[in-house]
Amino acid sequence: MSTTTILRGARPTGGDPVDLVLRDGVIAEILDEGTASHEGAAVVDATGLVALPGLVDLHTHLREPGREDAETIASGTRAAAAGGFTAVHAMANTTPVADTAGVVEQVWRIGRDAGWVDVHPVGAVSVGLDGTQLAELGAMADSAARVRVFSDDGKCVHDPILMRRALEYVKAFDGVVAQHAQEPRLTEGAQMNEGVVSAEIGLTGWPAVAEEAIIARDVLLAEHVGSRLHVCHLSTAGSVDLVRWAKKRGVDVTAEVTPHHLLLTDDLARDYDPTFKVNPPLRTAEDVEAVRAGLADGTIDIVATDHAPHTREDKDCEWAAAAFGMTGLETALSVVQATMVDTGRMNWADVARVLSAAPARIGRIDSGDRAQGRPLAVGEPANVVLVDPAATRVVDGAEQATASTNTPFRGRELPGRVVATFLRGRATVLDGSPVEVTA
């Protein structure tokens, strides 16, 4: 049965208002505003709303299997839809670890059945994330989940031999190794960014060079092997410089920055609130400025949330005992608007690039029957998010769709509001609220 939805007066990537006609999972027509025939169609009033391609997150922790007390695939993907996402990449540090074809297929099937977004499992680089033996990279790539992104995120692939072998292996199926850049010996016992604040409040510091040393090593390995490297959650000015240098040399490297590293600084640790404990740590104002500049000039390719939900018990405790991590799926677009759009550094077309097209391309999900990150054009999949850029909201973790409340933006007023999200033409969010769906 044919289904049609008209997005009346939407502004594709902030341009002139049009009528976007979604039919049978694709964008069927783009017409002058107010001219689309609404007979038999659902009509969404999108006056004043920016239409973007559905957002794609290359770095999400859904916790299932193993830590369903913090998040499930259903609750995490529901939060993703509420944040405007139509696809997420689920990191491998689950219990059991996603290091076999069986586990990644389980994650993929649960995500498909939940129906909120497309779930693309990330495969572990090493067995058990222990950094000693390569996981079943080829089997995961050939599985129903068609894994193309591999990462031990949460841990660094610190052994250069293992990292080289992984880079060589993934070339066979155009995969990418996404590295958590953290030299373990330089960060033993580290609690926050090493600097003035850590010295003043007495917490063990995490030096910027611990991130930068791994990035420097890995871009040289990627150049030597001729393989794709992706740098997870880049956070320092020196890291931006290294990626910029590598790209000028022609190294096939991409990089991401998180929303929290675009906005927050290590000054927030002064109250010892573990909400602000994250890996890598919040850095200095100078680092924040550097990553914003790197995102604006294309050195940093994408924004990825590193959504890391935790139970109240894992966060509501003293700083040293608290888990690293913050939620971010439902606030990512607002933070990007606040830090990059409203400051004049980027426009909405740039937002579509860093939050949709580029992450889909890096994850190799930008083609095929379930393609993501495609432009808003006739014949393209109807993955669309409608955003009200004039709206503001005060973040309340208890009101979010994620099962956890550890948002670093609680009590903060942020611009922008996701009004509606469509996954292949089917509404997953309307009027700002998730719509209960079946796959």
3-state secondary structure labels for all residues of the chain: CCCEEEEEEEEECCCCCEEEEEECCEEEEEEECCCCCCCCCEEEECCCCEEEECEEEEEECCCCCCCCCCCCHHHHHHHHHHCCEEEEEECCCCCCCCCCHHHHHHHHHHHHHHCCCEEEECECCEHHHCCCCECCHHHHHHCCCCCCEECCCCCCCCCHHHHHHHHHHHHHHCCEEEECCCCHHHHCCCCEECCHHHHHHCCCEECHHHHHHHHHHHHHHHHHHCCCEEECCCCCHHHHHHHHHHHHCCCCEEEEECHHHHHCCHHHHHHCCHHHCCCCCCCCHHHHHHHHHHHHCCCCCEECCCECCCCHHHHCCCHHHCCCCECCCCCHHHHHHHHHHCCCCCCHHHHHHHHHHHHHHHCCCCCCCCCCCCCCCCCCECCEEEEEEEEEEECCHHHCCCCCCCCCCCCCEEEEEEEEEEECCEEEEECCEECCCCC
Mean pLDDT of all residues in 368-376? 95
Question: Does some domain include residue 368?
Answer: no
324 is annotated as contributing to ligand binding = yes
287 is annotated as contributing to ligand binding = no
Mean pLDDT of all residues in 119-136? 98
Q: Which of 311, 327, 362 is the last residue of a domain?
A: 362
- The number of domains in the chain is 2
222 and 126 within one domain: yes
Question: Does some domain include residue 134?
Answer: yes
- How far is 10 from 1, CA to CA, in rounded Å? 25
Decide if pLDDT at 304 tops 80. yes
307 is annotated as contributing to ligand binding = no
Q: What is the pTM for the complete model shown?
A: 0.97
Q: Count Cβ neighbours within 10 Å for each residue of 427-439 and write b for 16 or more, e otherwise.
A: bbbeeeebeeeee
Question: Does some domain include residue 43?
Answer: yes
CA proximity to 269, closest of 260, 257, 258, 281: 281
- How far is 87 from 53, CA to CA, in rounded Å? 11
27 and 88 within one domain: no
For the chain, what is the mean pLDDT? 97
Residue 152 belongs to domain with CATH number: 3.20.20.140
Residue type at 277?
K
154 and 21 within one domain: no
Mean pLDDT of all residues in 246-254? 98
352 and 294 within one domain: yes
58 and 35 within one domain: no
Q: Of these residues, 99, 266, 306, 388, which one is catalytic?
A: 306
Banded pLDDT at 1 (limits 50, 70, 90): very low
400 and 287 within one domain: no
Tens of pLDDT, residue by residue over 175-230, are 999 999 999 999 999 999 999 999 999 999 999 999 999 999 999 999 999 999 99
Banded pLDDT at 437 (limits 50, 70, 90): low
167 Cβ contact list (under 8 Å, min separation 6) = 177, 221, 222, 225, 227, 228, 229
Tens of pLDDT, residue by residue over 231-245, are 999 999 999 999 999
249 and 197 within one domain: yes
Question: Does some domain include residue 370?
Answer: no
Banded pLDDT at 38 (limits 50, 70, 90): confident
Question: Does some domain include residue 398?
Answer: yes
Mean pLDDT of all residues in 364-390? 97
The label of the residue with tokens 């169609």 reads 41
Mean pLDDT of all residues in 361-380? 97
% residues pLDDT > 90 (the chain): 97
Question: Residue 39 has what pLDDT?
Answer: 85
Question: Residue 340 has what pLDDT?
Answer: 98
Mean pLDDT of all residues in 117-144? 98
306 and 292 within one domain: yes
Q: Which of 331, 362, 393 is the last residue of a domain?
A: 362
309 and 258 within one domain: yes
38 is annotated as contributing to ligand binding = no
Question: Does some domain include residue 375?
Answer: no
Question: Residue 439 has what pLDDT?
Answer: 46
- Does residue 306 carry a catalytic annotation? yes
% residues pLDDT > 70 (the chain): 99
Residue 407 belongs to domain with CATH number: 2.30.40.10
Decide if pLDDT at 3 tops 90. no
158 and 73 within one domain: yes
Token pair, residue 259, equals 């929303």
45 and 88 within one domain: no
261 is annotated as contributing to ligand binding = no
Decide if pLDDT at 55 tops 70. yes
Q: Dihedral sign for Cα 156, 233, 164, 174, please.
A: positive
273 and 404 within one domain: no
59 is annotated as contributing to ligand binding = yes
Question: Does some domain include residue 372?
Answer: no
Residue 39: give the domain boundaries.
4-51+381-434
Tens of pLDDT, residue by residue over 306-360, are 999 999 999 999 999 999 999 999 999 999 999 999 999 999 999 999 999 999 9
Q: Which of 332, 362, 392 is the last residue of a domain?
A: 362
85 is annotated as contributing to ligand binding = no
9 is annotated as contributing to ligand binding = no
Question: Does some domain include residue 369?
Answer: no
